[in-house]
Structure 1
Protein backbone atom coordinates (compact mmCIF):
# COMPACT_ATOMS: atom_id res chain seq x y z
CA UNK A 1 0.00 0.00 0.00
CA UNK A 2 1.36 3.39 -1.03
CA UNK A 3 1.59 6.41 1.27
CA UNK A 4 -0.82 9.15 0.34
CA UNK A 5 0.58 12.44 -0.93
CA UNK A 6 -2.71 14.13 -0.03
CA UNK A 7 -2.61 13.06 3.61
CA UNK A 8 -5.48 11.68 5.66
CA UNK A 9 -9.10 12.83 5.52
CA UNK A 10 -11.24 12.32 8.61
CA UNK A 11 -14.91 11.85 7.73
CA UNK A 12 -17.57 11.73 10.43
CA UNK A 13 -20.89 10.02 9.91
CA UNK A 14 -19.07 7.84 7.38
CA UNK A 15 -20.93 4.53 7.64
CA UNK A 16 -23.66 5.43 5.14
CA UNK A 17 -25.15 8.12 2.95
CA UNK A 18 -23.27 11.36 2.31
CA UNK A 19 -20.37 10.47 4.61
CA UNK A 20 -19.71 7.12 2.93
CA UNK A 21 -19.75 8.77 -0.50
CA UNK A 22 -17.35 11.49 0.68
CA UNK A 23 -15.05 8.72 1.89
CA UNK A 24 -15.16 6.99 -1.48
CA UNK A 25 -14.59 10.16 -3.47
CA UNK A 26 -11.74 11.38 -1.28
CA UNK A 27 -10.01 8.01 -1.46
CA UNK A 28 -10.25 8.17 -5.26
CA UNK A 29 -8.63 11.60 -5.06
CA UNK A 30 -5.70 10.08 -3.23
CA UNK A 31 -6.51 10.57 0.45
CA UNK A 32 -6.06 7.93 3.10
CA UNK A 33 -9.03 7.87 5.45
CA UNK A 34 -10.10 7.79 9.05
CA UNK A 35 -13.81 7.01 9.12
CA UNK A 36 -15.91 7.81 12.19
CA UNK A 37 -19.42 6.57 12.97
CA UNK A 38 -21.28 4.74 15.71
CA UNK A 39 -21.60 1.29 14.13
CA UNK A 40 -18.42 -0.74 13.77
CA UNK A 41 -19.96 -3.29 11.41
CA UNK A 42 -21.14 -0.73 8.87
CA UNK A 43 -17.87 1.16 9.16
CA UNK A 44 -15.93 -2.01 8.44
CA UNK A 45 -18.05 -2.70 5.37
CA UNK A 46 -17.42 0.79 4.00
CA UNK A 47 -13.72 0.60 4.80
CA UNK A 48 -13.29 -2.78 3.15
CA UNK A 49 -15.09 -1.67 0.01
CA UNK A 50 -13.11 1.56 -0.34
CA UNK A 51 -9.73 0.04 0.47
CA UNK A 52 -10.37 -2.75 -2.01
CA UNK A 53 -11.37 -0.46 -4.85
CA UNK A 54 -8.84 2.34 -4.33
CA UNK A 55 -5.83 0.83 -2.55
CA UNK A 56 -5.92 3.60 0.03
CA UNK A 57 -5.35 3.02 3.73
CA UNK A 58 -8.63 3.19 5.65
CA UNK A 59 -8.85 3.25 9.45
CA UNK A 60 -12.13 3.18 11.36
CA UNK A 61 -13.10 4.65 14.71
CA UNK A 62 -16.41 3.50 16.17
CA UNK A 63 -17.55 6.46 18.24
CA UNK A 64 -20.81 8.04 19.36
CA UNK A 65 -20.07 11.76 19.09
CA UNK A 66 -22.79 12.46 21.65
CA UNK A 67 -20.73 10.50 24.17
CA UNK A 68 -18.07 12.74 25.74
CA UNK A 69 -15.49 9.97 26.07
CA UNK A 70 -15.94 8.86 22.47
CA UNK A 71 -15.83 12.45 21.25
CA UNK A 72 -12.62 13.05 23.21
CA UNK A 73 -10.99 10.04 21.52
CA UNK A 74 -11.67 11.51 18.09
CA UNK A 75 -10.47 14.95 19.23
CA UNK A 76 -7.20 13.40 20.35
CA UNK A 77 -6.67 11.77 16.96
CA UNK A 78 -7.34 15.04 15.16
CA UNK A 79 -4.95 16.92 17.37
CA UNK A 80 -2.08 14.45 17.34
CA UNK A 81 -1.95 12.57 14.02
CA UNK A 82 0.44 14.61 11.83
CA UNK A 83 -0.86 13.00 8.64
CA UNK A 84 -4.37 14.47 8.87
CA UNK A 85 -4.97 17.22 6.32
CA UNK A 86 -8.77 17.30 6.05
CA UNK A 87 -11.81 17.09 8.32
CA UNK A 88 -15.28 16.51 6.88
CA UNK A 89 -17.79 17.37 9.60
CA UNK A 90 -20.70 15.38 8.21
CA UNK A 91 -22.18 13.63 11.26
CA UNK A 92 -25.52 15.06 12.26
CA UNK A 93 -29.18 14.37 12.84
CA UNK A 94 -32.28 16.26 11.81
CA UNK A 95 -35.89 16.90 12.67
CA UNK A 96 -38.92 17.79 10.62
CA UNK A 97 -41.66 18.13 13.25
CA UNK A 98 -42.69 21.64 14.36
CA UNK A 99 -41.81 22.90 17.83
CA UNK A 100 -45.13 22.01 19.42
CA UNK A 101 -44.73 18.39 18.34
CA UNK A 102 -41.03 18.01 19.20
CA UNK A 103 -39.36 16.22 22.10
CA UNK A 104 -37.07 18.67 23.90
CA UNK A 105 -34.64 15.91 24.91
CA UNK A 106 -34.26 14.93 21.26
CA UNK A 107 -33.75 18.58 20.34
CA UNK A 108 -31.00 18.84 22.96
CA UNK A 109 -29.31 15.71 21.60
CA UNK A 110 -29.46 17.20 18.11
CA UNK A 111 -27.79 20.39 19.32
CA UNK A 112 -25.08 18.36 21.04
CA UNK A 113 -24.26 16.49 17.83
CA UNK A 114 -24.84 19.14 15.17
CA UNK A 115 -23.29 22.00 17.14
CA UNK A 116 -21.24 20.89 20.14
CA UNK A 117 -19.52 17.86 18.62
CA UNK A 118 -18.82 19.67 15.35
CA UNK A 119 -17.36 22.62 17.25
CA UNK A 120 -15.13 20.47 19.43
CA UNK A 121 -13.82 18.51 16.44
CA UNK A 122 -13.13 21.74 14.59
CA UNK A 123 -11.32 23.17 17.60
CA UNK A 124 -9.24 20.00 17.79
CA UNK A 125 -8.33 20.06 14.10
CA UNK A 126 -7.69 23.72 13.35
CA UNK A 127 -4.78 24.43 15.74
CA UNK A 128 -3.10 21.22 14.56
CA UNK A 129 -3.60 22.23 10.91
CA UNK A 130 -2.06 25.63 11.60
CA UNK A 131 0.99 24.00 13.15
CA UNK A 132 1.26 21.60 10.19
CA UNK A 133 1.06 24.46 7.69
CA UNK A 134 -2.43 23.96 6.30
CA UNK A 135 -5.52 21.84 5.98
CA UNK A 136 -9.14 21.74 4.89
CA UNK A 137 -12.36 21.86 6.91
CA UNK A 138 -15.58 20.86 5.14
CA UNK A 139 -18.70 21.51 7.20
CA UNK A 140 -21.97 19.98 6.06
CA UNK A 141 -24.63 22.57 6.83
CA UNK A 142 -28.02 22.69 5.08
CA UNK A 143 -30.15 24.92 2.90
CA UNK A 144 -32.29 25.48 6.00
CA UNK A 145 -29.38 27.48 7.44
CA UNK A 146 -30.70 30.34 5.29
CA UNK A 147 -34.32 29.14 5.11
CA UNK A 148 -35.14 27.97 8.66
CA UNK A 149 -38.87 28.31 8.03
CA UNK A 150 -38.84 25.15 5.92
CA UNK A 151 -38.28 22.49 8.61
CA UNK A 152 -37.96 22.20 12.38
CA UNK A 153 -36.58 25.47 13.71
CA UNK A 154 -34.05 23.93 16.08
CA UNK A 155 -32.61 21.88 13.23
CA UNK A 156 -32.41 25.00 11.08
CA UNK A 157 -30.72 26.86 13.92
CA UNK A 158 -28.05 24.18 14.30
CA UNK A 159 -27.28 24.39 10.60
CA UNK A 160 -27.23 28.19 10.72
CA UNK A 161 -24.61 27.82 13.44
CA UNK A 162 -22.51 25.64 11.13
CA UNK A 163 -22.71 28.24 8.38
CA UNK A 164 -21.86 31.10 10.75
CA UNK A 165 -18.91 29.20 12.20
CA UNK A 166 -17.61 28.46 8.72
CA UNK A 167 -17.83 32.10 7.63
CA UNK A 168 -16.02 33.21 10.78
CA UNK A 169 -13.30 30.58 10.45
CA UNK A 170 -12.71 31.55 6.83
CA UNK A 171 -12.05 35.16 7.82
CA UNK A 172 -10.06 34.38 10.95
CA UNK A 173 -7.80 31.82 9.28
CA UNK A 174 -7.36 33.53 5.90
CA UNK A 175 -3.60 33.84 6.34
CA UNK A 176 -3.07 30.32 7.78
CA UNK A 177 -3.30 28.28 4.55
CA UNK A 178 -6.55 26.70 5.71
CA UNK A 179 -9.47 26.00 3.38
CA UNK A 180 -12.97 26.22 4.82
CA UNK A 181 -16.10 25.17 2.95
CA UNK A 182 -19.71 25.10 4.10
CA UNK A 183 -21.96 22.82 2.04
CA UNK A 184 -25.69 23.62 2.08
CA UNK A 185 -27.63 20.67 0.62
CA UNK A 186 -31.34 20.76 0.00
CA UNK A 187 -33.34 17.54 0.20
CA UNK A 188 -31.11 14.53 -0.43
CA UNK A 189 -32.06 10.88 -0.89
CA UNK A 190 -30.57 9.46 2.31
CA UNK A 191 -31.93 7.88 5.51
CA UNK A 192 -32.06 11.40 7.03
CA UNK A 193 -35.79 11.64 6.39
CA UNK A 194 -36.78 8.37 8.02
CA UNK A 195 -34.47 9.03 10.96
CA UNK A 196 -36.01 12.50 11.35
CA UNK A 197 -39.57 11.26 11.36
CA UNK A 198 -40.40 12.35 7.83
CA UNK A 199 -40.59 10.75 4.39
CA UNK A 200 -39.11 11.56 1.01
CA UNK A 201 -42.39 10.40 -0.49
CA UNK A 202 -43.90 13.66 0.72
CA UNK A 203 -41.59 15.69 -1.54
CA UNK A 204 -41.76 16.11 -5.32
CA UNK A 205 -38.94 14.25 -7.06
CA UNK A 206 -37.70 17.51 -8.58
CA UNK A 207 -36.65 18.63 -5.08
CA UNK A 208 -34.61 15.56 -4.14
CA UNK A 209 -30.96 15.16 -5.14
CA UNK A 210 -29.15 11.84 -5.11
CA UNK A 211 -26.39 11.70 -2.51
CA UNK A 212 -23.61 10.89 -4.97
CA UNK A 213 -24.60 13.90 -7.11
CA UNK A 214 -24.55 16.05 -4.00
CA UNK A 215 -21.04 15.03 -2.99
CA UNK A 216 -19.68 15.37 -6.51
CA UNK A 217 -21.14 18.89 -6.75
CA UNK A 218 -19.78 19.82 -3.31
CA UNK A 219 -16.28 18.67 -4.23
CA UNK A 220 -16.49 20.57 -7.52
CA UNK A 221 -17.35 23.64 -5.44
CA UNK A 222 -14.32 22.98 -3.23
CA UNK A 223 -12.11 22.72 -6.33
CA UNK A 224 -13.47 26.07 -7.52
CA UNK A 225 -12.55 27.71 -4.23
CA UNK A 226 -16.09 28.27 -2.96
CA UNK A 227 -16.55 29.16 0.68
CA UNK A 228 -20.26 28.35 0.49
CA UNK A 229 -21.52 25.66 -1.87
CA UNK A 230 -25.23 25.17 -2.50
CA UNK A 231 -25.22 22.10 -4.74
CA UNK A 232 -28.71 22.54 -6.17
CA UNK A 233 -28.64 26.33 -6.73
CA UNK A 234 -28.97 26.87 -10.51
CA UNK A 235 -27.45 30.35 -10.64
CA UNK A 236 -24.41 31.17 -8.50
CA UNK A 237 -25.25 34.85 -8.93
CA UNK A 238 -28.21 34.40 -6.59
CA UNK A 239 -25.93 33.48 -3.69
CA UNK A 240 -23.51 36.24 -4.66
CA UNK A 241 -26.35 38.77 -4.52
CA UNK A 242 -27.38 37.43 -1.10
CA UNK A 243 -23.80 37.78 0.13
CA UNK A 244 -23.41 41.28 -1.30
CA UNK A 245 -26.58 42.32 0.55
CA UNK A 246 -25.28 40.76 3.78
CA UNK A 247 -21.94 42.53 3.45
CA UNK A 248 -23.75 45.83 2.87
CA UNK A 249 -25.55 45.39 6.21
CA UNK A 250 -22.41 44.69 8.24
CA UNK A 251 -21.03 48.27 8.60
CA UNK A 252 -24.38 49.47 9.90
CA UNK A 253 -25.15 46.72 12.38
CA UNK A 254 -23.53 48.59 15.26
CA UNK A 255 -23.82 52.37 15.33
CA UNK A 256 -24.00 54.89 18.15
CA UNK A 257 -27.28 56.45 17.02
CA UNK A 258 -30.57 54.76 16.18
CA UNK A 259 -32.23 55.65 12.85
CA UNK A 260 -35.05 58.18 12.67
CA UNK A 261 -37.76 55.53 12.43
CA UNK A 262 -36.98 54.42 16.01
CA UNK A 263 -36.69 57.90 17.51
CA UNK A 264 -40.36 58.25 18.32
CA UNK A 265 -41.38 61.25 20.38
CA UNK A 266 -42.62 60.36 23.83
CA UNK A 267 -46.35 60.45 24.20
CA UNK A 268 -47.60 63.64 25.75
Structure 2
Protein backbone atom coordinates (compact mmCIF):
# COMPACT_ATOMS: atom_id res chain seq x y z
CA UNK A 1 0.00 0.00 0.00
CA UNK A 2 1.46 3.34 -1.10
CA UNK A 3 -1.06 5.65 0.58
CA UNK A 4 -2.13 5.99 4.24
CA UNK A 5 -3.97 2.81 5.20
CA UNK A 6 -7.25 2.73 7.11
CA UNK A 7 -8.79 -0.38 8.66
CA UNK A 8 -12.56 -0.22 9.17
CA UNK A 9 -14.60 -2.85 11.01
CA UNK A 10 -18.28 -3.29 10.23
CA UNK A 11 -17.44 -1.89 6.82
CA UNK A 12 -20.21 -3.49 4.75
CA UNK A 13 -23.05 -1.26 5.98
CA UNK A 14 -24.05 1.78 8.00
CA UNK A 15 -21.43 3.97 9.61
CA UNK A 16 -18.57 1.68 8.58
CA UNK A 17 -19.67 1.82 4.95
CA UNK A 18 -19.75 5.62 5.04
CA UNK A 19 -16.27 5.71 6.56
CA UNK A 20 -15.03 3.43 3.79
CA UNK A 21 -16.40 5.73 1.07
CA UNK A 22 -15.10 8.93 2.68
CA UNK A 23 -11.64 7.53 3.36
CA UNK A 24 -11.38 6.17 -0.17
CA UNK A 25 -12.22 9.62 -1.55
CA UNK A 26 -9.57 11.24 0.64
CA UNK A 27 -6.76 9.02 -0.62
CA UNK A 28 -6.60 6.14 1.83
CA UNK A 29 -5.90 2.55 0.97
CA UNK A 30 -8.38 0.38 2.86
CA UNK A 31 -8.56 -2.80 4.88
CA UNK A 32 -12.26 -3.64 5.12
CA UNK A 33 -13.56 -6.03 7.78
CA UNK A 34 -17.08 -7.47 7.96
CA UNK A 35 -18.98 -10.77 8.10
CA UNK A 36 -20.84 -10.51 4.78
CA UNK A 37 -18.34 -11.54 2.15
CA UNK A 38 -20.44 -10.78 -0.92
CA UNK A 39 -21.16 -7.21 0.14
CA UNK A 40 -17.59 -6.68 1.28
CA UNK A 41 -16.02 -7.82 -1.99
CA UNK A 42 -18.50 -5.84 -4.07
CA UNK A 43 -17.62 -2.75 -2.04
CA UNK A 44 -13.89 -3.40 -2.36
CA UNK A 45 -14.11 -3.71 -6.15
CA UNK A 46 -16.23 -0.56 -6.39
CA UNK A 47 -13.88 1.58 -4.28
CA UNK A 48 -10.73 0.25 -5.96
CA UNK A 49 -12.12 0.95 -9.44
CA UNK A 50 -13.56 4.36 -8.61
CA UNK A 51 -10.64 5.79 -6.63
CA UNK A 52 -7.61 3.80 -7.81
CA UNK A 53 -6.77 2.66 -4.30
CA UNK A 54 -5.65 -0.68 -2.90
CA UNK A 55 -8.37 -2.50 -0.95
CA UNK A 56 -7.73 -5.50 1.27
CA UNK A 57 -10.68 -7.61 2.44
CA UNK A 58 -10.86 -9.56 5.70
CA UNK A 59 -14.04 -11.58 6.06
CA UNK A 60 -14.49 -12.01 9.81
CA UNK A 61 -17.10 -12.50 12.49
CA UNK A 62 -15.42 -10.59 15.31
CA UNK A 63 -17.38 -12.51 17.94
CA UNK A 64 -15.50 -15.62 16.76
CA UNK A 65 -12.11 -15.86 18.54
CA UNK A 66 -10.36 -17.31 15.48
CA UNK A 67 -11.60 -14.54 13.19
CA UNK A 68 -10.75 -11.94 15.81
CA UNK A 69 -7.19 -13.28 15.94
CA UNK A 70 -6.82 -12.63 12.20
CA UNK A 71 -7.80 -8.97 12.51
CA UNK A 72 -5.64 -8.48 15.59
CA UNK A 73 -2.68 -9.89 13.71
CA UNK A 74 -3.31 -7.48 10.81
CA UNK A 75 -3.22 -4.57 13.23
CA UNK A 76 -0.08 -5.66 15.02
CA UNK A 77 1.99 -7.55 12.46
CA UNK A 78 0.92 -6.37 9.00
CA UNK A 79 1.85 -3.25 7.07
CA UNK A 80 1.27 -0.08 9.15
CA UNK A 81 -2.34 0.94 9.75
CA UNK A 82 -2.53 4.73 9.95
CA UNK A 83 -6.22 4.97 10.88
CA UNK A 84 -8.33 2.37 12.68
CA UNK A 85 -12.11 2.81 12.81
CA UNK A 86 -13.29 0.51 15.63
CA UNK A 87 -16.92 0.49 14.55
CA UNK A 88 -18.36 -3.06 14.53
CA UNK A 89 -21.20 -3.62 16.98
CA UNK A 90 -24.86 -4.43 17.36
CA UNK A 91 -27.67 -4.04 19.89
CA UNK A 92 -29.60 -6.70 21.79
CA UNK A 93 -32.54 -4.93 23.38
CA UNK A 94 -34.65 -6.07 26.29
CA UNK A 95 -35.35 -5.04 29.87
CA UNK A 96 -33.17 -6.61 32.55
CA UNK A 97 -34.76 -9.92 33.49
CA UNK A 98 -36.78 -10.04 30.28
CA UNK A 99 -34.20 -10.19 27.48
CA UNK A 100 -32.53 -12.97 25.52
CA UNK A 101 -29.38 -13.87 27.46
CA UNK A 102 -27.73 -15.54 24.48
CA UNK A 103 -28.22 -12.40 22.39
CA UNK A 104 -26.82 -10.35 25.27
CA UNK A 105 -23.76 -12.59 25.42
CA UNK A 106 -23.17 -12.24 21.68
CA UNK A 107 -23.46 -8.46 22.03
CA UNK A 108 -20.91 -8.41 24.86
CA UNK A 109 -18.50 -10.51 22.82
CA UNK A 110 -18.63 -8.03 19.94
CA UNK A 111 -19.22 -4.66 21.61
CA UNK A 112 -16.89 -5.19 24.56
CA UNK A 113 -14.48 -8.10 24.08
CA UNK A 114 -13.74 -7.65 20.36
CA UNK A 115 -13.77 -3.87 20.68
CA UNK A 116 -11.21 -3.88 23.50
CA UNK A 117 -8.95 -6.52 21.95
CA UNK A 118 -8.84 -4.65 18.65
CA UNK A 119 -8.21 -1.31 20.34
CA UNK A 120 -5.36 -2.92 22.26
CA UNK A 121 -3.94 -4.46 19.08
CA UNK A 122 -4.19 -1.15 17.23
CA UNK A 123 -2.27 0.70 19.93
CA UNK A 124 0.39 -2.03 20.00
CA UNK A 125 0.84 -1.85 16.23
CA UNK A 126 0.84 1.93 16.07
CA UNK A 127 3.29 2.21 18.95
CA UNK A 128 5.77 0.21 16.88
CA UNK A 129 5.57 2.85 14.14
CA UNK A 130 5.20 5.85 16.46
CA UNK A 131 2.03 7.16 14.88
CA UNK A 132 -1.60 6.46 14.11
CA UNK A 133 -5.20 7.46 14.73
CA UNK A 134 -7.97 5.42 16.34
CA UNK A 135 -11.68 6.22 16.18
CA UNK A 136 -13.75 4.26 18.70
CA UNK A 137 -17.48 4.39 18.00
CA UNK A 138 -19.68 4.80 21.07
CA UNK A 139 -23.33 5.80 21.36
CA UNK A 140 -25.50 8.65 22.59
CA UNK A 141 -27.23 6.14 24.88
CA UNK A 142 -24.34 7.03 27.19
CA UNK A 143 -26.39 10.05 28.25
CA UNK A 144 -29.76 8.38 28.77
CA UNK A 145 -31.28 5.56 30.79
CA UNK A 146 -33.78 4.03 28.38
CA UNK A 147 -35.79 0.94 29.39
CA UNK A 148 -34.63 -2.00 27.30
CA UNK A 149 -31.22 -0.44 26.58
CA UNK A 150 -29.39 -1.45 29.77
CA UNK A 151 -27.14 -4.01 28.10
CA UNK A 152 -26.43 -2.03 24.94
CA UNK A 153 -25.94 1.23 26.80
CA UNK A 154 -23.56 -0.48 29.22
CA UNK A 155 -21.41 -1.78 26.36
CA UNK A 156 -21.12 1.76 25.02
CA UNK A 157 -20.33 3.11 28.49
CA UNK A 158 -17.44 0.64 28.42
CA UNK A 159 -16.36 2.05 25.05
CA UNK A 160 -16.42 5.59 26.44
CA UNK A 161 -14.43 4.84 29.59
CA UNK A 162 -11.93 2.66 27.75
CA UNK A 163 -11.41 5.30 25.06
CA UNK A 164 -11.01 8.21 27.44
CA UNK A 165 -8.39 6.27 29.40
CA UNK A 166 -6.67 5.36 26.12
CA UNK A 167 -6.45 9.08 25.41
CA UNK A 168 -4.64 9.72 28.69
CA UNK A 169 -2.26 6.83 28.07
CA UNK A 170 -1.56 7.93 24.49
CA UNK A 171 -0.36 11.42 25.39
CA UNK A 172 3.04 12.04 23.81
CA UNK A 173 3.01 8.75 21.89
CA UNK A 174 2.13 10.08 18.44
CA UNK A 175 -1.18 8.19 18.58
CA UNK A 176 -4.48 10.10 18.46
CA UNK A 177 -7.64 8.56 19.89
CA UNK A 178 -11.12 9.88 19.20
CA UNK A 179 -14.32 8.94 21.00
CA UNK A 180 -17.13 9.24 18.45
CA UNK A 181 -20.60 9.41 20.00
CA UNK A 182 -23.37 9.08 17.39
CA UNK A 183 -26.99 9.74 18.11
CA UNK A 184 -29.74 8.09 16.09
CA UNK A 185 -28.29 7.39 12.66
CA UNK A 186 -30.10 6.35 9.47
CA UNK A 187 -28.59 2.87 9.04
CA UNK A 188 -29.84 -0.72 9.11
CA UNK A 189 -28.62 -0.99 12.72
CA UNK A 190 -32.18 -0.45 13.93
CA UNK A 191 -33.65 -3.04 11.58
CA UNK A 192 -31.11 -5.64 12.70
CA UNK A 193 -32.06 -4.89 16.30
CA UNK A 194 -35.75 -5.39 15.52
CA UNK A 195 -36.63 -1.69 15.51
CA UNK A 196 -37.14 0.92 12.81
CA UNK A 197 -35.44 4.25 12.32
CA UNK A 198 -38.91 5.52 11.41
CA UNK A 199 -39.79 5.23 15.11
CA UNK A 200 -37.78 8.41 15.71
CA UNK A 201 -38.74 11.99 14.75
CA UNK A 202 -36.92 12.88 11.51
CA UNK A 203 -35.24 15.86 13.14
CA UNK A 204 -33.42 13.47 15.51
CA UNK A 205 -32.00 11.21 12.79
CA UNK A 206 -28.60 11.98 11.21
CA UNK A 207 -27.28 10.57 7.95
CA UNK A 208 -24.19 8.38 8.32
CA UNK A 209 -22.34 10.54 5.79
CA UNK A 210 -22.86 13.65 7.93
CA UNK A 211 -21.71 11.72 10.97
CA UNK A 212 -18.48 10.69 9.26
CA UNK A 213 -17.83 14.23 8.01
CA UNK A 214 -18.14 15.48 11.60
CA UNK A 215 -15.81 12.79 12.93
CA UNK A 216 -13.08 13.51 10.41
CA UNK A 217 -13.46 17.25 10.89
CA UNK A 218 -13.18 16.80 14.66
CA UNK A 219 -9.83 15.11 14.09
CA UNK A 220 -8.68 18.18 12.17
CA UNK A 221 -9.89 20.42 15.01
CA UNK A 222 -8.14 18.31 17.61
CA UNK A 223 -11.34 17.46 19.49
CA UNK A 224 -10.84 14.19 21.41
CA UNK A 225 -14.59 13.62 21.65
CA UNK A 226 -16.93 14.06 18.68
CA UNK A 227 -20.66 14.33 19.36
CA UNK A 228 -21.75 15.33 15.86
CA UNK A 229 -25.06 16.97 16.81
CA UNK A 230 -23.78 18.80 19.92
CA UNK A 231 -23.95 22.56 19.21
CA UNK A 232 -21.36 23.60 21.80
CA UNK A 233 -18.39 21.46 22.87
CA UNK A 234 -18.40 23.49 26.12
CA UNK A 235 -21.27 21.26 27.27
CA UNK A 236 -18.95 18.25 27.13
CA UNK A 237 -16.26 20.26 28.89
CA UNK A 238 -18.76 20.99 31.68
CA UNK A 239 -19.38 17.26 32.10
CA UNK A 240 -15.66 16.61 32.35
CA UNK A 241 -15.35 19.43 34.93
CA UNK A 242 -18.17 17.91 37.00
CA UNK A 243 -16.41 14.54 36.95
CA UNK A 244 -13.19 16.19 38.06
CA UNK A 245 -15.00 17.71 41.03
CA UNK A 246 -16.60 14.42 42.10
CA UNK A 247 -13.55 12.24 41.48
CA UNK A 248 -11.36 13.33 44.42
CA UNK A 249 -14.28 12.77 46.81
CA UNK A 250 -15.03 9.23 45.63
CA UNK A 251 -12.40 7.81 47.98
CA UNK A 252 -11.73 8.84 51.57
CA UNK A 253 -11.07 7.38 55.01
CA UNK A 254 -14.41 8.72 56.30
CA UNK A 255 -18.00 8.79 55.13
CA UNK A 256 -19.71 12.03 54.15
CA UNK A 257 -21.25 14.10 56.93
CA UNK A 258 -24.80 13.49 55.76
CA UNK A 259 -24.48 9.78 56.59
CA UNK A 260 -23.81 10.47 60.27
CA UNK A 261 -26.62 10.40 62.77
User: Does TM, scored on the shorter chain, surpass 0.5?
Assistant: yes
Corresponding residue of 2:173? 176
Q: Does the 8 A contact of 2:5 with 2:31 survive in 1?
A: yes
On the 8 A contact 1:183/1:218 being kept in 2, the answer is yes
The answer to whether the aligner puts 1:3 opposite 2:2 as a matched pair is yes
Q: Deviations over 1:105-132 (max 9, x none)?
A: 1011001000000111111111121111
TM-score (norm 1): 0.93
Superposed displacement of residue 44, structure 1: 0.9
Taking structure 2 as the reference length, what is the TM-score of the superposition? 0.96
| Structure 1 SS opposite 2:82 | strand
- Alpha-carbon deviations, 1:37-77, whole Å to 9, x = none? 00111001111121122211111000000111011011111
2:221 — aligned with what? Answer: 224
Give, in angstroms, the shift of residue 193 of structure 1: 0.6
Do the aligned residues in 2 keep the contact of 1:148 with 1:157 (CA within 8 Å)? no
Mark the CA change 1:179 to 1:151 in structure 2 (over 3 Å): closer, same or farther: farther
For structure 2, list consecutive stretches of 5 or more residues without a partner in the other structure.
Answer: none
Runs of 4+ in 1 over 3 A off after TM superposition: none
Q: Which ranges in structure 1 are unaligned for 5 or more consecutive residues?
A: none
Correspondence for 1:203: 200
2:16 is aligned with 1:19: yes
The answer as to whether partners of 1:97 and 1:197 remain within 8 angstroms in 2 is no
| Change in CA separation of 1:162 and 1:216 when aligned onto 2, cut-off 3 Å | same
Residue in 2 that maps onto 1:80: 77
Q: 1:162 aligns with which of 146, 159, 162?
A: 159
